[in-house]
Amino acid sequence: MSDEINPFSRQGHSPNQPVQQGGPGERPSPPAKKKGLGFVVALVLGLFAAGLVCCGGLAFFGFKAGAGMLNAPIDAAIAYVSSDEELANQLGTPIESTSTVGVQNYQNNNGNGHATVGFNAKGSNGTARVDGKLLLTAGTWTVEKLTVKLSDGQTVTLPRGDAVEVNAGQGDADPTEADPNALPQ
């Protein structure tokens, strides 16, 4: 049995000599590298990028929702100006806002409030400056008063006419007028 060659034995090797890898005359291969600095840097950058995507996405959608909320009074004012036949003919359609920020004051308390707007508008035939106040009632914007100053200097007040529609409860009722539906006291 001693004449057999054991493939697992280290023939010609003394226990105090290091084991040479490879064949005779070849350089020994370097030891295997451990996961080091490159792995840590890649991991940190990956976590940073993931956080940036998450927070950036939340910021983007939050900004988009806020901008939509602030644009609602401007959209209502543009729709009102567009619905006036004379202004629509003078400015041309479609009429749109050219201002980046058009809401000067915005108050919303559970779907009720008001907004003061001031923005530049343009149509296919001309431009105008629109200033005014809108009321928010049960989530719906209505125009209290708009002043539209056209590029030729003409000023139009909406709603047209001397009387501006006032919502009930603002103290404009004449106390001497009798209410036909009132109950006798």
Burial of residue 113 (CB within 10 Å: 0-12, 13-18, 19+) is middle
What string of DSSP letters covers 8-53? TS-TT--TTSPPPPSSTTPPPPPPPPPS-HHHHHHHHHHHHHHHHH
The separation between CA 39 and the C-alpha centre of its own chain, rounded to angstroms, equals 36
Place 170 in a pLDDT band, splitting at 50, 70 and 90: very low
Residue 18's pLDDT is what?
A: 58
Residue 163's pLDDT is what?
A: 39
Place 121 in a pLDDT band, splitting at 50, 70 and 90: very high
Separation CA 137–CA 160 (nearest Å): 22
Using DSSP, state whether 177 is helix, strand or coil: coil
50, 54, 60, 61: CA torsion to nearest 10: 150
Q: What is the pTM of this model?
A: 0.53
Express each pLDDT in 125-136 by its tens digit: 999 999 999 998
